[in-house]
Amino acid sequence: MTENGTAPTGDRAAARVDWVDYAKGICIVMVVMMHSVLGVELAAGKTGFMHVLVAFAKPFRMPDFFLISGLFLPLVIGRDWRLYLDRKVVHFAYFYVLWVTIQFAFKAPAFAAESSWTDVGYLYLESFIEPFGTLWFIYLLPIFFALIKLTRNVPPLLVWSIAALLETLRVATGWTVIDEFCARFVYIYSGYLFADYVFALSDRARRYPAYALAALAAWVLIEGSLVALGWSELRVVSLMLGLAGACAVITTGTLLARARWLDFIRFCGEHSIVIYLAFFLPMAASRTLLLKSGLIHDIGTVSLIVTIVGVVGALAIWRLALAAHAHFLFERPDTFWIAPRKPAVALQPAE
């Protein structure tokens, strides 16, 4: 690690990079916020002040998550296939299978009440073809990682150009895997292809914080204006906003890391996938409790509370699981490793 808290290219695999954790923390909080706010508003039949924040973050919320997931691929892309598949495919496949089963265990009674237990069984099997609920991100990551390695010897700019074209085509087949693949692959590939430029951007933001803040202010103005005007989802514009928003989150994460502020955000980033897997339960429970109780009438406030409970509750579930020795919920057991186990076995954000 260098003195300013960044990591030179050769060291990134060996040590955590502070701003990456901050950026991932921002992303996972925005993801929980989106599901919490939209869920509350759908159940209540009206919107609140949090809706504005969700709309503002929409153009860059998932693009940034995918871009950061690709940042460290240049360091591991040369691994032999067995090791690469273990870390990048089997790792996420294990957690998808486990947590889709857990989610079904909670939701199956409600599904059965609407149809039948036979239909529930079919729906469960279908979830291995059509990603279930919030878990589509975990489902797609192994596909992206495998494809990037398969296309390693293809001219990178050709791959990026095709990926960018797919994003602008607005593919809408109704199948999540195809639609989200076309919409998101360009971002994870951008993280992989332009990793050195991303780290250089972070280094400059850390070195010149005043200029970084000015750039962020300009971005907020442009992003907010395009969203308000309804232009943020136009072809090409959405791609530009996705990449610009990712750079903005990276810059914000760098400035927070430089000032060592909001350490809880960094902690969330370190355990972003833990939160992604478990937030559905505290989110749904708190939403139902608050709306049925009628204690709080402002929908925006309810949405904010549900968001906080979703994040904190997921971390609490993780800690309780470790305390109860149910490590398999967040740590892959030895049985499911196909390559030599790495020293740190706890579930961490993607390299």
Could you tell me which residue, 252 or 341, shows the higher pLDDT?
Answer: 252
Percent of the chain with pLDDT over 70: 93
pTM (two decimals): 0.90
Q: Span 100-128, mean pLDDT?
A: 90
Q: How many domains does the chain have?
A: 1
Listed residue (57, 74, 61) closest to 184, CA to CA: 61
Residues 6+ positions from 46 with CB-CB distance below 8 Å: 299
Q: Is residue 98 part of a domain?
A: yes
Q: Tokens at residue 184, please?
A: 């998101």
Q: Tokens at residue 229, please?
A: 């005007």
Compute the residue count for the chain: 351
Q: Tokens 């971390």 — which residue? A: 315
Long-range contacts of 230-233 (CB under 8 A, 24+ apart): 232/58, 232/59, 233/59
The pLDDT-based confidence of 343 (bands split at 50, 70, 90) is: low
pLDDT of residue 68: 96
Whether the pLDDT of residue 14 is over 70: the answer is no
Q: Tokens at residue 119, please?
A: 């239909």
Mean pLDDT of the chain: 92
Q: Is residue 224 part of a domain?
A: yes
> Residues 176-200: pLDDT tens digits?
999 999 999 999 999 999 999 999 9
The sign one gets for the Cα dihedral 149, 152, 154, 160 is: positive
Q: Span 313-335, mean pLDDT?
A: 96
Give the domain extent around 179.
9-336
Q: Span 138-161, mean pLDDT?
A: 97
Alpha-carbon span 298 to 140, nearest angstrom:
36
Q: Is residue 2 part of a domain?
A: no
Q: Is residue 31 part of a domain?
A: yes
pLDDT of residue 12: 44
The pLDDT-based confidence of 112 (bands split at 50, 70, 90) is: confident
Q: Is residue 346 part of a domain?
A: no
The pLDDT-based confidence of 349 (bands split at 50, 70, 90) is: very low
Alpha-carbon span 77 to 100, nearest angstrom:
28
Alpha-carbon span 107 to 105, nearest angstrom:
6
Percent of the chain with pLDDT over 90: 86
> Residues 265-320: pLDDT tens digits?
999 999 999 999 999 999 999 999 999 998 999 999 999 999 999 999 999 999 99
The pLDDT-based confidence of 249 (bands split at 50, 70, 90) is: very high
The pLDDT-based confidence of 341 (bands split at 50, 70, 90) is: confident
Q: Is residue 351 part of a domain?
A: no
Q: Tokens at residue 301, please?
A: 């406030």
Q: Span 59-88, mean pLDDT?
A: 96
Whether the pLDDT of residue 214 is over 60: the answer is yes
Neighbours of 51 (CB within 10 A): 17
Q: Is residue 349 part of a domain?
A: no
Q: Is residue 77 part of a domain?
A: yes
The pLDDT-based confidence of 15 (bands split at 50, 70, 90) is: low
The pLDDT-based confidence of 161 (bands split at 50, 70, 90) is: very high
Whether the pLDDT of residue 350 is over 90: the answer is no
How is the chain split among helix, strand and coil, in percent rounded to 5?
75, 0, 25
**Distance between alpha carbon 158 and the CA centroid of its chain, in Å?**
26
pLDDT of residue 10: 41
The pLDDT-based confidence of 113 (bands split at 50, 70, 90) is: confident
